Amino acid sequence: MVTTCTSQNDSTLVRWLGTLLLLLLTSSTAWAGSGFFKNFVVLNNGRGNLYYDTELQNTGNPDFQGANLGSFDRNSGQLLLNGAEANTFENNGDDVQATRMYYRLYRQGGAPGGFQSIELEFRGRQSNGDEKWDVLTANLDLLARTNGNGTYVLEVYFEGSGVNGGNGYNVYDSRSSQNYRATFAVTGATPVSTTWTGAVSAEWFNNSNWTNGVPTADTDALIPVGPVNFPTILSGVAVVRNLTVAGTDPTSRAVLRLEGGELRVFGNFANPASGYEQGGGVFVLARSGDQQLDGDVFFDMRVEGGGVKTLTNQASIIGTLTFTNGILQTAVNNPSVFNLTLLGATASIVGETETSFVLGVVQVRRTVGLAVAQDFGNIGFELTTFGQAAGQTLVVRLTGLTYSGAGTSRSVQRQFNLVPDNNTNLNATLVFRYLDRELNAIPENDLVLFQSANSGQSWGLIGKDSQQTTTNTVTKSGVDRLTFLTLGDQNNPLPVTLTDFVATRVGADALLRWATSQELNSAGFEVQVSTDGRTFRSLGTVASPSPTSQLARTYEFVDRETAKFGLRYYRLRQVDLDGKATLFGPQVVSFGSVATAAAYPNPFNSSLRILLQPTRGGQLTARLLDMQGREVFRRTALVEPTAQELPLDALDRLPQGTYLLHLNLPDGQQIREKLVKQ
């Protein structure tokens, strides 16, 4: 059986994650054998959870479609979108793997805007195959998401994702694509607002720089495009309710700089053109409840106040992400847009607990030396190699996801994908940390490690050497290669079909090896390759000796194409006699290290230094572009394929602001980095 995931920066990271969730992201839009049969929208108006049903079944509950939810004073009333309940059925070999409810809130008669999703958690399967999913404590404050008095529309629909014979599909409860809508009215005093003018300076705390004085925790603030002076916070504690750094693109945007102190946001943070620049200080999500924030590059960030802080796009942490109270949530339905990256060399997460953590996608890349433990910024996974060093290793953590197997077999709601530069003869010790809330009803003492070579479609049992239930860790030694890891139930294991898939560089070639524990009506395997992790082409095929076997089989294929460099992604397309196909992989092989470069200091004054590691010698071109795309500096230099430092001097003539560094390397690779001139 094929399995996929169920839900609640660096191009390599995005490519892998897109492949990992391929079955969810490339599904067909309908399937006759499964669907929804009873769904509810769950709201709380101060009197506990109220269930509103959709049009699938008359349950006796009020209908959500066309409902008037009431009138609410924004200062004393309450209206929470607490989540949803979904119920699905399956037939003809279908397997519903995930459900979610999409929602959006907008003023009646206004522009609707985009949808956000609530990923529903699996709650159980009935004997007839029906499944229940829900989230009942989302605590999304609808009143806080309005921007004035009037009538608002809450619009929702349900989506389910599943697989059948290796093919992905989606099912919907959307009122024939018209969606479900309910309305409510908002009254009461609206929040005070103020707009930045920069009339006298760049100082945030100067009343003369604002139309209505310096913001307070109850004031909405707008930084518009156009002022000569943009605000800078050097020290002290700045507070604001909803904060908008306006703009449409890098050439037309406002800028807000945090260099020290704290910026405490008690509402939502809108940053559509990435105009937020943080060289120091702490960005604080401070509201006692839910918040929404656009991403950017953050130095230090702190999550406090409780509730769910929803990240709307990509964000990176240079320093420390600290949790004192609250959940920082990313989505997994579009991983190329929603993710959190620990970008700094020492960036880390501090303070995750059972009630305060990152929910969704976290990714980090670190160097793993020999016999030195690496904890990847404290994301819950520790790796020590005693055979060979793993080198640069990408780790992507996913939480809130479940991988499903036959019957009632399920994984915990945490997985790690590991992509090391060297993935052979590691003799590694793995320490996998989990939260009790992620156990998915698996008895804690029955947890064992599983590893997948095909992003969760089938699994091989690794087991465990030891477990500490007080510290929530499972440890396993003697692991020679790393792929995709999760925890499952040793008494109800995840399915195993393809048990191994390894791609290894051998000189100028790549050797692919894979193994199966059993085969049924298999015609063979097509070997595919990609240089970007997205677009694959065929390299060749390997036939199965016979269509059906209950015995273990091993296979090999050698990629002998010439002129390989950089990363190559390999995957298998297993084809049945009836033409049905299942994808496994990808596995990544590096042919010549990808060039690296880092500029410092950032921010800079009169000069820059670029630490380089080119893959080959030749001419390098370094260019600086301003935010209008104009070239303001250029230097060419001859470089060698070794670690070296390239100075960029005489930059004091450049005005303060943000610049893009473009490096064109001798092997054709291009590197981009965002820099700030002080």
pLDDT value of position 592: 65
* pLDDT per residue as tens digits for the range 484-536: 999 999 888 765 567 678 888 888 889 999 888 667 778 899 999 988 777 88
206 pLDDT higher than 70: yes
Tell me the percentage of the chain whose pLDDT exceeds 70.
91
pLDDT value of position 507: 81
pLDDT value of position 406: 55
Contact 171, 30 (CB under 8 A): yes
Say how far apart CA 298 and CA 285 lie, in whole Å. Answer: 12
Lowest model confidence (mean pLDDT) among 6-20, 542-556, 611-625, 658-672: 6-20
- Beta-sheet strands, E only, within 369-445: 381-385, 391-399, 402-403, 411-420, 428-433
pLDDT value of position 338: 60
Cα dihedral across residues 246, 248, 253, 259: positive or negative: positive
Across 34-63, b (16+ Cβ under 10 Å) vs e yields: bbbebbbbbbbbeeeeebbbbebeeeeeee
CATH fold for the domain made of 498-591: Immunoglobulin-like (2.60.40)
391 pLDDT higher than 60: yes
pLDDT-derived band of residue 312, with 50, 70 and 90 as boundaries? Answer: confident
Say how far apart CA 85 and CA 65 lie, in whole Å. Answer: 16
pLDDT-derived band of residue 319, with 50, 70 and 90 as boundaries? Answer: very high
366 pLDDT higher than 80: yes
pLDDT value of position 407: 57
pLDDT value of position 581: 78
* 187 CB neighbour count, 10 Å cutoff: 14
CATH of 35-187, one of 1.20.1050, 1.10.10, 1.10.520, 2.60.40: 2.60.40
User: Has domain 596-677 been given CATH number 1.10.3860.10?
Assistant: no
**Residue 219, burial from CB neighbour count under 10 angstroms (0-12, 13-18, 19+):** buried
Calculate the average pLDDT of the chain. Answer: 86
User: To 5 degrees, how large is the angle CA 265–CA 364–CA 393?
Assistant: 175
pLDDT-derived band of residue 236, with 50, 70 and 90 as boundaries? Answer: very high
pLDDT-derived band of residue 333, with 50, 70 and 90 as boundaries? Answer: low
17 pLDDT higher than 60: no
pLDDT-derived band of residue 11, with 50, 70 and 90 as boundaries? Answer: very low
pLDDT value of position 48: 85
Q: What is the pTM of this model?
A: 0.61
Mean pLDDT calculated for residue range 273-284: 95
CA-CA distances (angstroms) from residue 177 to 38, 81, 153, 267, 446?
17, 22, 17, 32, 44
Lowest model confidence (mean pLDDT) among 25-34, 220-229, 241-250, 350-359: 25-34
Mean pLDDT calculated for residue range 413-424: 93
Mean pLDDT calculated for residue range 201-221: 96
Lowest model confidence (mean pLDDT) among 3-12, 85-94, 426-435: 3-12
Say how far apart CA 611 and CA 217 lie, in whole Å. Answer: 42
Question: Do the domains 35-187 and 498-591 sit in the same CATH topology, yes or no?
Answer: yes
Domain layout of the chain by residue ranges? 35-187, 498-591, 596-677
425 pLDDT higher than 50: yes
pLDDT-derived band of residue 602, with 50, 70 and 90 as boundaries? Answer: confident
Mean pLDDT calculated for residue range 576-593: 79
pLDDT-derived band of residue 334, with 50, 70 and 90 as boundaries? Answer: low
* pLDDT per residue as tens digits for the range 63-76: 999 999 999 998 78
